[in-house]
Each structure stands twice: as structure tokens, then as C-alpha cells.
Structure 1
Amino acid sequence: MIRIVATALMAALLLWWSPAGAVEKPTTEQVKAVTLKAAQLLQERSLEQARRLFHAEGEFRWGEVYVNVIDANGTWLVYPPNPKHEGKSVLNVRDADGKFLVQNIIHTAREKSEGWVEYRWLNPASNHIEPKLSYVKQVPDKDMIVYVGMYR
């Protein structure tokens, strides 16, 4: 009986900790790790191969976490919540305070190679404008920038 309870407890913990089973808010460490792993994947595989993984539920898409990919001109290359917007320019998108969000993401990638960008955005879960934090990473030797966000 103890072995059954222990096994059930371990299974529940694994589901709670795994991205596919995550129900808790992501941590900054998880968001950064997903971003860096996505950038590494884009170095090793084609955009099309990576896009399929980024769109699927799993290690790159769970809860509020999903991978965005833009090019240096601000064109969405990967946008899992609404793939029909892929190929569109988002260069002049502003956050709720009027800041040029995508331009800030591109600037962070160009100037620092990677880092955090803070802004205020509509959270679809709450339908309220909330602080959001995205980790940004320039994909080395490619005209691609990866970012993953989380509501604070």
C-alpha cells in the first residue's frame, strides 16, 4: 500500500513539474530556459521543423508559455496562439503604455544578445492589462529572435 501511495505521489509531482502538465504560473527560470532551448533548436534545425515543435503542446508550449520567433525586421515567423499572423510585421506594435514592444525586443537582442523586456499586455486569462516579462534571445548566426513571456 505504501508503495502504491508513493508511486502515485511521484507521478503527481512529475506532472506538476513537467511543462506538459504544468498548471502553476511559470517561473522566470523556466521562461528563460525555454527561450534558450528554443534558440538552440533553431540553430540545429530548420525554421519549419522548429515551428512544428513550437506549435505543439509540450516542452515549448504549456499553460501561458509559448515561443515567439521574429526576424530583425519585426516579422512574426512563429506565433502559436494565432498562426495566421505568421508572416505579418509587428514592428510597430505598442504595449498598453504606448511603448514600442517589438522594437524593444529587437534592441535587446541586438545590443545584449539576450535579456529581459518588461511591458504591460492584455492577459487573455483575466481579460486585464497586466505586467508581462519576456526573455529575449538572438539566435546566433541567424536572422531570428526568440522570446517567451510570462505574466507577473
Structure 2
Amino acid sequence: MKLFVATLCLALASAGAAANEPTEKDAIAMAERGAALVKAKGKDEMMKRINAKDPDFVQGSLYVDMRDVKTGIVLAHPFNPSIVGKDLTDVPDANGKKYRREIIEMAAAKGKGWVDYQYKNPTTGKIEPKTTYILLVDGVVLEAGLYKK
């Protein structure tokens, strides 16, 4: 009986943890909240909110960052301020994929979509597989990504 209770507790704890993991719907919703803010209050306000880790745009490992669609320059990033102001378009991920170039090209061609790559998870500190929803609004690309388990 004790083993059953322990197993049940572990199963419930795992289910609870999984339920708290962000989903693709969460990423889309976060990017769309960002697009609404950009349209209502402008890009500068969005950059301030991202850099301040506003809870509307930063929730654990799910967060929005922003880049200029024409230049590829990172305009705001809540966890990696050292890349803000830089064009990292052709810097590859750990597997050699130029995912930022793909993000910019997809945003320019389609206005939105998903891009897969490897990136450092701010909650684990490890390079992990990630999928990011991108959304073009007023010349900037909002990116909200999920780490794959």
C-alpha cells in the first residue's frame, strides 16, 4: 500500500509539473499580447516591458524577445541583455543552424510561424531544443519560445 501511495503521489506531482509547463497556445497568446501592446503603445514601451521582465511577457522559461525584421538587430531580451543591440543573424545554434536568419525570413515572408533550434534555457542553464513562435508587427519580430521536453 505504501508503494502505491508513493507512486500515486509521484504521478500526481509529475502531472502537476507538466500542467505548469507552457504550451504552444501560451506562446502564441504571449506574442499576440505583445503585438497588441506594440500597436497600442509602441515599440519602445514593448522593449521596456521585455527588459523589465514584465510578467505579461516573462513566465518561467516562456518569454518574449524582440528583433528588427530588416536589420536582425536584437531590440530587447529579458534574460540575455548582452545581445541587445547586436545583429546575430548568422550566428548558428549548437547544431550549426542559422535559426535567426530563418526567423527573419519567415517573418518577412509569412508574418508568423514556428522555428526550431537549440538555445540556453534560463531555468536550467542548459542548451535545449526549443521551438519559437514568431509574429511580425510594425517592423519588429516578437519571439515566444518553448523548450521541448
**What's the TM-score, normalizing by structure 1?**
0.76
Measured in 1, the distance between the counterparts of 2:146 and 2:86 equals 23
Alignment of 1:1-152 (within 5 A): 24-54=20-50, 55-72=52-69, 73-139=71-137, 142-152=138-148
Deviation of 1:121 after TM superposition, in Å, equals 2.1
The total of aligned residue pairs comes to: 129
Deviation of 1:134 after TM superposition, in Å, equals 0.3
Query: Structure 1 stretch 67-76 or stretch 122-131: which is displaced more?
Result: 122-131
The SS at the match of 2:20 is: coil
RMSD: 1.9
Measured in 1, the distance between the counterparts of 2:79 and 2:124 equals 16
The SS at the match of 1:136 is: strand
Q: 1:126 to 1:61 in 2, by over 3 A?
A: closer
2:79·2:122 contact (CA, 8 Å) conserved in 1?
no
**What's the TM-score, normalizing by structure 2?**
0.78
Runs of at least 5 residues in structure 1 that lack an aligned partner in the other structure: 1-15, 17-22
How much identity, in percent, do the aligned residues show?
A: 31
